Structure 1
Amino acid sequence: MKNKLFFLLLFSFLSVSSIAEIPENSSPEKDEVEEITEYFGDYDPWEAFNRRVYHFNYAFDKYFFVPIVDGYQKVTPNFVQHRISNFFDNTKNASSLGNALAQTKGRKALRSLGRLSINTILGLGGLFDVATALGMPKPYEDFGLTLAHYGVPRGPYLILPLLGPSYLRDAFGIVVDSKLAGRAEISLPKKYSLPLYAIDKKSRVSFRFYGTNSPFEYEYVRFLYKKYRTVQEETHQNFNIGGI
């Protein structure tokens, strides 16, 4: 299943170049783009490609994926949705555990192992978040942060087909993290895990493409993602400094 994710990314990268240009009425004037980019700037040398992928993701969401997610939310009881969300949140502990070990963060690895073990055993495979109820912290690591730990720069901003904002460095971490998380999916058939994970993740995000009614939505999303990732990296650095 994880190999399918890799080939899906590869196929999407190869095929998206054939996607039509974004309609002119959805793009601001060039001088306006340069002005807003200067304020919300980030290293985006592949902007033309990224904008095409952004519009591709918008079309995919609007005409296919969001209707599925809306249907899922309507027919699935909230109790069941929460159990599914807990299950996939628990699998992230496996990814955090692997990346903490890769960074030689012993205490963080033990915390991730503790959450994973308690939620898997006492939480019926992760359906119930027993660890949080017990007051256990939620450590987070991903492979992008592991690469950053060893000095690998972010690289260019990159919009991934179907997956959204990333950086070149972090894009490589997606497959690694998915394989680590997949080790914790012990109670779900593999053929269901990826689509159900995608639906659950989308159902928890209120953002919808071109829902801001702003001609600068692309720049805003890029800026907000940069701030989001910067906060994660700074928290990661402070964790190291504190020696926790």
Structure 2
Amino acid sequence: MGLMRGSILILALGMVSSCGWLQPDSTPGDGIHDPSEAMNRQVHQFNLMVDDKMFRGDGPSIAEAVPRPVYEVTGNVAETLSLPGVVVNDVLQGKLNEATRNSVRLIVNATMGLGGLMDVAADMGLPEDETDFGETLAVWGVSEGGYVVLPIYGPSNDRDVVGQVVDLLINPIAYVVSVPASFVGPVLELVDDVGDRQIYGDTYDSVLHESADSYKQMRLIYLQNRRYELGEEAVGEDIDPLELDTKGF
């Protein structure tokens, strides 16, 4: 399995070097580069249908059948499992202080927090500090490429799609456990996103199901939010980038 993981990692990094993303960004004047809009809209409609089936309609939704404390615990475990990969990305970005802090956070939550069931580290002044290989690529000067909508997951871009693949491969946990078990973290993150969808249901509904063009709304919110996280030039003027976490759509 190590050879296969290495081959996929080389392929993913090759995608970055072979594309034009290392060149100066050619995003249009409106700040939106969406060359696959027709296909993206089809995937967006599929995601709307899934969202409607899971979270809307008469009576309790599928997601509401799970108690909120379960989502909270799931989120804690998912974040703990992601920390080894976060530390790797901190190092790749040259953020050694953050790498040290996240290493301590991992040790504390994996031991005192009972494998991540509880976020003890936050109470000790070690809050969650997320990063990913998409951000690493941004630090290295790779432009975001085109806007992409993924099935179930939702809004992304070319750079982050590659980053998501690489994140699965550079997390040390992937080399300690078997392949099925190594995907527990991403699955738990998806469950945590379902919990967020429940908590912020009204806001999500207004954007996804009540706006005149939910595709454009989601695209604008995602691009603003992601560029704000990375300290890149924002797009649009009317939406607060902190208003909505679009991960999970």
2:73 aligned residue: 83
**Amino acid across the alignment from 2:223:** K
Tell me how many residue pairs correspond in the alignment: 197
The aligned counterpart of 1:232 is 229
Query: Paired residue for 1:135?
Result: 125
Does the aligned pair in 1 maintain the 2:91–2:99 contact within 8 Å? yes
Quote the offset at 1:84 in angstroms: 1.5
Structure 1 runs not aligned, ≥5 long: 7-37, 236-244
Q: Secondary structure at the match of 1:80?
A: helix
Partner Cα separation in structure 2 for residue 182 and residue 221 of structure 1:
33
- Give the Cα–Cα distance (whole angstroms) in 1 for the partners of residues 99 and 31 of structure 2: 35
Counterpart for residue 168 of structure 2: 178
Structure richer in helix, relative to its length = 1
**Is the Cα contact below 8 Å between 1:40 and 1:219 reproduced in 2?**
no
TM-score using structure 2 length:
0.68
Deviation at 1:140, TM superposition (A): 2.0
Q: Deviations over 1:8-59 (max 9, x none)?
A: xxxxxxxxxxxxxxxxxxxxxxxxxxxxxx9975111111111011011122
Q: Distance in 2 between matches of 1:57 and 1:209?
A: 15
Q: Distance in 2 between matches of 1:169 and 1:200?
A: 23
CA distance in 1, matches of 2:207, 2:86: 33
Residue pair 1:91, 1:182 contacting (<8 A) in 2 also: no
Extract unaligned runs of 5+ from structure 2: 9-27, 233-249
Match of 1:201 in 2: 193
In structure 1, distance between residues paired with 2:172 and 2:187? 13
SS of structure 1 residue aligned to 2:231 = helix
Q: Deviations over 1:140-194 (max 9, x none)?
A: 21101100111100001111122110110111111222345582897xx729835
CA distance in 1, matches of 2:187, 2:61: 14
Instruction: Give yes or no for contact 1:90–1:116 (8 Å, CA) kept in 2.
Output: yes
Aligned Cα RMSD in Å? 3.3
Query: Residue 162 of structure 1 is aligned with which of 152, 158, 179?
Result: 152
- Percentage of identical aligned residues: 32
